[in-house]
Structure 1
Amino acid sequence: LPPLSLCGDNAAMIGCQAYYEYQAGHTAGWALNAKASLDIAKQWSE
């Protein structure tokens, strides 16, 4: 198992990245959707 300090919630990292993406003018439309059960064997590209 990884150390306890590396087992926390990723919300801070996600929020930090989102802040910098927003500051850079990168936004997504309402069509953006999370895929909690994404099959890692399938290649996703558009």
Structure 2
Amino acid sequence: MKNITIMDIAKEAGVSKATVSRVLTDPQIVSKPTRDRILQLMDK
């Protein structure tokens, strides 16, 4: 099984790796739809 990276999530979500990092460290500064999309991808 391949390790999934922040870059993999960012590419799949169509956002920057900084946005994925923000969801992990300070989620309230990311819009709810974007945050939800990223979190959904992380749950996969």
Task: Judge same fold: TM > 0.5, yes or no.
Answer: no
Higher Cα Rg, which structure: 1
Q: Which has the higher contact order (CA 8 A, sep 6+)?
A: 2
Which structure features the higher share of helix residues? 2
For normalisation by structure 1, the TM-score amounts to: 0.30
For normalisation by structure 2, the TM-score amounts to: 0.32
